Amino acid sequence: MGWVFISDRDNDGKVEHIYREKTDRRILKKNPWRDYRLHGTVLFLVIIAELIGTVNIPITKNVAITIMPLIYTIMLGLIFYLDKNIRWIKKKQARIAEGAMMLFIGVLIAKLAISSGQSIHLIFEMGPALILQEIGHLATILVLPIALLLGFKKESIGMTNSIGREPNVAVVVDKYGFNSPESRGVFAIFIIGTVIGTIFISFLVTLSLSFLPLHPYAFAMASGVGSASMNAAAIGPTLAAFPGLESSIEAFAGFSNLLSFCVGIYIVIFIALPITEKFYNFLEPKIGRGSLVKEKEDDDNG
Amino acid sequence: MADFIDGTENVTVHGIFNWIRLLIIFSVITVIGNYIGYKHPIGEAFIGMGILSLITLAGVWLERELPFNISSILYISIIGIVIALPGMPTSKFVLYYVSKIELLSIVTVFLAYVGIGMGKSWDEFKALGWKAVIITILVIASTYYGSAIVAHIILVLTGVPAA
C-alpha cells in the first residue's frame, strides 16, 4: 500500500490558518534562529548559486533553456538533506526550514505587493483577465479521465479538483473525512507536489516561455498557481524572459497571488469539487478500471 | 493543537523575537546573494529588506491579534499595496529601497529553505507509485496552462498590447 497519512495536520475546517499552525509550532515555541548549521548551509548554497549565475543552454536557434540560481538552491537543498554524508542537515533542520519558510514567504509577498501597489492602475485596466484566469485553474479537472484510465477510483476526485496544496488539502479533508479515498488522493498530490512540484514548474515555465507565444502578462498571471514555492519558482524565469517589464510582471504575479488566496479556495469549494464529482460520476462507469487500491496490495511500486 | 487555530491568540514576546531574529537572518543571506548576483549596494538593499521584514512582521502579528479569520498573506499584501500606492507619502521611500532588492534574490534564498524542508517528505514520496507522479505533473501543468491560456485570450480580446 502506497498511501500516506499526514499525521501533523488537523484542520477543523479553518482553512485560513493552515500555514499558521505549522509556523507557530516550529517558530514561536523553539529557538529556530539558533540553528546556525541550517542558516549557514543556506548562505553557502546561495553564494554558490549566485556565483554560478544564470546559464543558458541553447537547444535550437530560437529556443534556449535558462537555468537560474533558484534551481540550484532548491536542488542543492534537497541533495544536502538526502546525502547521508552531510550530517548537519537532518530532519530537525528540515522541520525548522519548513516552519521558517512560512514566515519568509511573507517577505516575498511583501515585495510583490509593493510592485502591485506601485502599478495599481493595472488592476483597473486588466481586471477581467485577472479574475477570469482564476477560472482557468479548473483545467485540472481535465486530468480526471487519465486518472481513471490509470486505475484510480474516488482518489481521482481528490487528485484532480485542484493543484492540491495546503488549502486544497484542508477543503477535501473537511468535506470527505481524513480516511476517505478522496483525501488519500489529495494527500498523494500534496506529497508529490511538495517534492517535485517546484522543480517541475520551473522547467515547465522555462520551456513554455520559449515555445508558447503567449502574452507576457498572461505568463505573469499564471505564475500565481496557489502554492508559495511553486509561485516563486514560476515567477523567476518569467521575469528573466521579459527584461524591461519586471515591475508589471511582479505586479500581476502579486495581484494574481492575492486573488488566488482570496477566491481560489471558494472556487474549489463551490465550483471545482462539485464539477469534479459530477464528471467522475459520469465517466467512472464508462472508463473506470478495477480498483487500484486492491491491486496495490501485491503490486509494490515503492 | 486546536488552540492554535481558534480565534485570536496572544503571541509571546519570545515568539515575536524569534520572528525578528529569523527575518534578520533571512535578510542578511538575501542581501549577500543580492550583492553577488546583482551588485546592488549592501546598505541600501539592507534597508529594503528591513522594510519588507517589517511588513511581514506586521502581517503575521495582525493575523494573530485581530479576531478575523484572515491569513497573514492578505494583511501583508494589503499593507504592501497601500504603502506603495502612488501619492502615498511613504511610496517614494519604500519604492527606492525595495527596488534595491531583486525579487529573484529573495526567491533564491527562499527556495533553498524549501529544498531542505521538502527533503522531509522524500520517504513518503518514494512510497507513492509512478501513476500518482504522472497525475501530479499533469495537474500542475494543467492549472498553469489553464490560467495562462485564459489570461492570454482575455488580454488579446481586450486589446492589451504585448509590452
Instruction: Supply the pLDDT for residue A266.
Output: 82
Distance (Å, whole) CA A187 – CA A178:
10
Q: Return the higher-pLDDT residue of A39 and B159.
A: A39
- Position A22 pLDDT exceeds 70: no
Q: Quickly count helices (H) and strands (E) in chain B.
A: 7, 0
Lowest mean pLDDT among A39-43, A166-170, A297-301: A297-301
- Position A24 pLDDT exceeds 70: no
* B42-101 residues touching A, CB cutoff 8 A: 49, 51-53, 55-56, 59-60, 63-64, 69-74, 76-86, 91, 94-95, 98, 101
Read off the pLDDT of each residue in A16-41 and give the average, rounded to a whole number. Answer: 69
- CB contact at 8 A, A190 and B128: no
Q: Which residue does chain B place closest to A128, by CA atoms?
A: B154
SS3 state of residue B33? helix
Residue range B33-50, pLDDT digits in tens: 999 999 999 999 999 999
The packing angle between helices B103-118 and A36-52, to 10°, is 130
Share of chain B above pLDDT 70, in %: 93
- β-bridge mates for residue B15, sequence order: none
Residue range B5-41, pLDDT digits in tens: 333 456 778 888 889 999 999 999 999 999 999 999 9
Tell me the ipTM for this assembly. Answer: 0.88
| Residue of A35, A70, A298 to mutate when probing chain B, most B C-beta within 10 A | A70
- β-bridge mates for residue A64, sequence order: A58
Distance (Å, whole) CA A175 – CA B6:
19
Residue range A176-198, pLDDT digits in tens: 887 889 988 998 998 898 888 88
**Residue A50, CB half-sphere, CA atoms under 13 Å: how many?**
25
Torsion of CA A237, A238, A243, A244, to 10 degrees: -150
What are the CA-CA distances from residue A191 to residues A75, A95, A179 (Å)?
A: 17, 15, 16
HEC per residue, chain A: CCCCCCCCCCCCCCHHHHHHHHHHHHHHCCCHHHCHHHHHHHHHHHHHHHHHCCEEEECCCCCEEEECHHHHHHHHHHHHHHCCCCCCCCHHHHHHHHHHHHHHHHHHHHHHHHHHHHCCHHHHHCHHHHHHHHHHHHHHHHHHHHHHHCCCCCHHHHHHCCCCCHHHHHHHHHHHCCCCHHHHHHHHHHHHHHHHHHHHHHHHHHHHHHHCCCCHHHHHHHCCCCCHHHHHHHHHHHHHHCCCCHHHHHHHHHHHHHHHHHHHHHHHHHHHHHHHHHHHHHHHHHHCCCCHHHHCCCCCCC
Instruction: Supply the pLDDT for residue A71.
Output: 86
pTM, 2 dp: 0.80
Q: Which residue does chain A place closest to B113, by CA atoms?
A: A97
Distance (Å, whole) CA B109 – CA A49:
10
The packing angle between helices B13-38 and B42-65, to 10°, is 150
Residue range A234-278, pLDDT digits in tens: 998 999 889 889 889 999 998 888 888 777 778 888 999 999 999
- CB contact at 8 A, A239 and B104: yes
| A111 contact residues in B (CB cutoff 8 A) | 52, 80, 98, 101, 103, 106
Residue range B45-83, pLDDT digits in tens: 999 999 999 999 999 899 888 887 777 888 998 999 999
Q: How far is B70 from chain A (nearest CA, A)?
A: 6
Cβ pair B83:A114 closer than 8 A: yes
Helix or strand holding residue B4 (H, E): none
Sign of CA dihedral A32, A235, A71, A264: positive
- Position A65 pLDDT exceeds 80: no
Q: Return the higher-pLDDT residue of B162 and A96.
A: A96
Helix or strand holding residue B150 (H, E): helix B130-157
- β-bridge mates for residue B30, sequence order: none
Q: Any idea what DSSP says for residue B24?
A: H
| Angle CA B39–B78–A216, to nearest 5 | 55
Q: Which residue does chain B place closest to A52, by CA atoms?
A: B37
What are the CA-CA distances from residue A210 to residues A20, A89, A205 (Å)?
A: 37, 36, 9
Lowest mean pLDDT among A123-132, A137-146, B5-14, B133-142: B5-14
**Stated length of chain B:** 163
Residue range A264-275, pLDDT digits in tens: 778 888 999 999
